[in-house]
Amino acid sequence: MKPNSPCLLAVLVLAAAGCAHTGGDPSVNALPPLSIIPVPSSIEPAAGSCRLAAGFALKADVEAQGVAAYLAAKVERATGVRPDLSPAGGGSPRAPGAGSVTLRIIPDDPELGAEGYALQVAESGVVIEAPRPAGLFYGVQTLLQLLPPEIEAASGGAPASWSIPCVEIRDLPRYLYRGMHLDVCRHFFDVEFIKRYLDLLALHKLNTFHWHLTEDQGWRMPIAKYPRLTEVGGFRPETLIGHYGDQPHRFDGTRYGGSYTREEIQEVVRYAQERFITVIPEIEMPGHALAALSAYPELSCTGGPFQPATLWGVFDDVYCAGNDSVFAFLEGVLGEVAELFPGPYIHIGGDECPKTRWKECPRCRERIRREGLKDEHELQSWFIRRIETILTGYGKKLIGWDEILEGGLAPQATVMSWRGMQGGIDAATQGHDVIMSPVSHCYFDHYQQEPAEEPVAFGGLTTLAKVYSFEPTPVELDADAALHVLGAQANVWTEYIDSPEKVEYMALPRMCALAEVVWSRPGARSLEGFLRRLDSHSRRLDAMGVNYRRIR
Ligand code: ACM
Ligand code: ZN
């Protein structure tokens, strides 16, 4: 490990010493050096080591019971042995000598904030303290990374007795918003995989899952009031073979699609909540709406007919901004979305909406005239403002891609800056919250090495080092505006990603680098240190069976 802090080097030495103490006891598994990703704010090594066995006494405050249950289930799944869960300070352990882990809420440490934690590994046991349960959860993630990688395995074969170097860690995230996106429209991914993706987010202390649920090529979100959205809009007749740039275009001739049930969505939301992950659903408008228009063509400017797209790209047919039925429809859709997703935000897309149809459409022209708008860009802005009013009525906040700046931002909108950093800079300067997700660093559908060596991808080149070099807060912002940068997110668009294995390949290890960008302080990290820790961390991904891209 590269000692960007001298403490880390000392930890290594102590870790080695701790292992030496275990010599002669084959049931105790020696540990490799500490390699925590994302790297914590402060690590203070201490002398000695802590012995822990899977049947350890797990003591937890009332508020910490959920996190304790998560830890107990995880240990049991990997080792076949369930920790002995009891209230903090209560009961004696069923397995004397197995050690203890205590999870405690400490409201009097405001410095740690809503997500920070303090983790102490002493010879007498492990104590994790945090002002809030989310902090305890992140402390547990760090503790798991102090255990052998097999703790991440799914099937009972992991060693069940460990020696952990004594250490004190205090840690809190740099940014409030630490996100990963997944497009389930270009290709569909079932709930089992979504849960696995959420596990990967949790492992890396990421706290937001942006679920891209509607697109030109498929509508995946069940809406009871408008069943044709999934029945018709959920299926396309065929899919492009190879890359868009390969000419002539060839298609596979196979109907493709799928959608989630309400129960599955609820299951995902619950699973995410247990991992302190907020799910942000994205319902695209006014553009990227061809699947919806295939089901309800009367919502377009021309009346159709349409079919969900079989090619990738940007399409001229979008929701008609002059037709009030469109807003009644969207109000109905968003009402059901708001009901299923308890988080504060709904993402409404807003990107890549051609104005071709609006320029020709009498109803759109009439809307522009009646509302006193200058042009179609102001019509888009008017559209988004009207949607914001609907969302406010549902108690939700609007997020949109940075095109929602054009023609003027809706009053409370949060901007996700993707075409670069400028949209984010402009929005933050205007006092709006911003999430940075620029195509330059955060598009994990781009190649991660020279294309000749890689499976087909969208294009571009976003190496691991490039992701690691990302700085979400632009120097152009003054201190007040900088506070509006809530964090950053990476996006996994799936035009060229047709299997869970390929999602993993494209997302990891770049997700590990993003996690460090959004969690760790710049002064506490370096690329060299990260790469060394990633080497050990990869064993953890191996134990989970993740198809990550190897660092060669
Ligand atoms: C986007 O990549 N069109 C947000
Ligand atoms: Zn129109």
Rounded distance, CA 28 to CA 19, Å? 9
Confidence of residue 81 (pLDDT cuts 50, 70, 90): very high
C-alpha angle 431-437-442 in degrees, rounded to nearest 5: 160
- Of 442, 429, 432, 441, the closest CA to residue 411 belongs to 432
The letter for the amino acid at 513 is A
**CB-defined site of ligand 1, < 6 Å:** 351-352, 401, 418
User: Does the pLDDT at position 12 exceed 50?
Assistant: no
User: Does the pLDDT at position 38 exceed 80?
Assistant: yes
- Of 433, 436, 349, 430, the closest CA to residue 391 belongs to 349
% of the chain residues with pLDDT over 90: 89
User: Does the pLDDT at position 178 exceed 70?
Assistant: yes
pLDDT tens sequence across 306-349: 999 999 999 999 999 999 999 999 999 999 999 999 999 999 99
User: Does the pLDDT at position 2 exceed 80?
Assistant: no
Angle between helices 262-274 and 324-340 in degrees, nearest 10: 50
Our measurement of the distance from residue 80's CA atom to the centroid of its chain's CA atoms, rounded to an integer in Å, reads 29
User: Does the pLDDT at position 446 exceed 90?
Assistant: yes
The region, left, alpha or beta by phi > 0 then psi within -120 to 50, assigned to residue 257 is left
Closest atom of ligand 1 relative to the 493 alpha carbon? 2
CA of 459 to the centre of ligand 1 (A): 14
* Residue scoring higher pLDDT (21 or 277): 277
Our measurement of the distance from residue 187's CA atom to the centroid of its chain's CA atoms, rounded to an integer in Å, reads 18
Residue nearest to atom 3 of ligand 1 (CA): 351
User: Does the pLDDT at position 16 exceed 80?
Assistant: no
CA atoms lying within 13 Å on the CB side of residue 433:
15
Q: Roughly how many angstroms between the first and final C-alpha of the chain, as a whole number? A: 18
pLDDT tens sequence across 269-289: 999 999 999 999 999 999 999
pLDDT tens sequence across 467-522: 999 999 999 999 999 999 999 999 999 999 999 999 999 999 999 999 999 999 99
Q: Is 78:115 a contact under the CB 8 Å cutoff? A: no
Strand partners, 165: 49
Rounded distance, CA 8 to CA 43, Å? 7
State the pLDDT at residue 22: 26
The number of residues in the chain equals 552
pLDDT tens sequence across 88-134: 666 555 667 889 999 999 988 999 999 999 999 999 999 999 999 99
Q: In a mutational test of the pocket of ligand 1, which residue from 210, 351, 445, 494 has the highest number of ligand atoms less than 8 Å from its CB?
A: 351
Q: Give the number of whichever ligand sits closest to the CA of residue 288.
A: 1
pLDDT tens sequence across 521-546: 999 999 999 999 999 999 999 999 99
Closest atom of ligand 1 relative to the 418 alpha carbon? 4
CA of 353 to the centre of ligand 2 (A): 13
User: Does the pLDDT at position 137 exceed 70?
Assistant: yes
Residue nearest to atom 2 of ligand 1 (CA): 418
Q: Give the number of whichever ligand sits closest to the CA of residue 420.
A: 1
Closest atom of ligand 1 relative to the 401 alpha carbon? 4
Q: In a mutational test of the pocket of ligand 1, which residue from 215, 352, 436, 444 has the highest number of ligand atoms less than 8 Å from its CB?
A: 352
pLDDT tens sequence across 196-218: 999 999 999 999 999 999 999 99
Q: Give the number of whichever ligand sits closest to the CA of residue 404.
A: 1
Which residue ranges form the domains of the chain, and what is each CATH number? 6-171 (3.30.379.10), 177-519 (3.20.20.80)
State the pLDDT at residue 154: 86
At 156, list the tokens. 């009972």
pTM, full prediction: 0.94
Please give the helix or strand (H or E) that residue 436 lies within, else none.
Answer: strand 434-436
Neighbours of ion ligand 2 (CB under 5 A): 301, 320, 322, 361, 363-364
CA of 351 to the centre of ligand 1 (A): 6
Cα Rg of the chain (Å, integer): 25
Confidence of residue 20 (pLDDT cuts 50, 70, 90): very low
% of the chain residues with pLDDT over 70: 92
CA of 416 to the centre of ligand 1 (A): 10
Closest atom of ligand 1 relative to the 352 alpha carbon? 3
Q: Give the number of whichever ligand sits closest to the CA of residue 439.
A: 1
Phi and psi at 509, nearest 5°, equal -90, 15
